[in-house]
Amino acid sequence: MPITKVILTEEATATTAGAASSITGATCVRLFNNQSGIVTVGINTVVGAATTNYFTMPAASIEFLQKSGTDVIWTSLAIKANKVAFTN
């Protein structure tokens, strides 16, 4: 079973495409939706770009997102994000 290795302390995600963050160059991000409802997550190659890929997270859910270190993310409401890695 893989073990999650926390690389950096969690931070709040940006809530606009113009403020999107790479989460310190993370290639693997642990997202925790600590909101009481659904949150939309946007992933893009550059801050503020017009085209974004989206997915939704239900309340109190955790997702692990694999991305390029330069890709940026933002969410409809601020949620918790950690730069993480997996180890055996």
What is the C-alpha separation between 4 and 39, in angstroms, rounded? 23
The whole-number pLDDT of residue 21 equals 96
- Rounded to the nearest integer, the mean pLDDT of the chain is 94
The predicted-structure confidence for 26-52, as pLDDT tens digits, reads as follows 999 999 999 999 999 999 998 987 678
Reduced to 3 states (helix: H, G, I; strand: E, B; else coil), residue 14 is: coil
pLDDT greater than 90 at residue 1: no
Residue 83, C-beta contacts closer than 8 angstroms, at least 6 positions apart: 6, 7, 8, 23, 24, 25, 26, 28, 29
The predicted-structure confidence for 70-82, as pLDDT tens digits, reads as follows 999 999 999 999 9
The whole-number pLDDT of residue 49 equals 79
CATH class of 3-87: mainly beta
Query: In this structure, how many other beta carbons lie within 10 angstroms of the beta carbon of residue 42?
Result: 20
Residue 67, C-beta contacts closer than 8 angstroms, at least 6 positions apart: 26, 27, 28, 29, 43, 73
Percent of the chain scoring above 70 in pLDDT: 99
What is the C-alpha separation between 72 and 86, in angstroms, rounded? 20
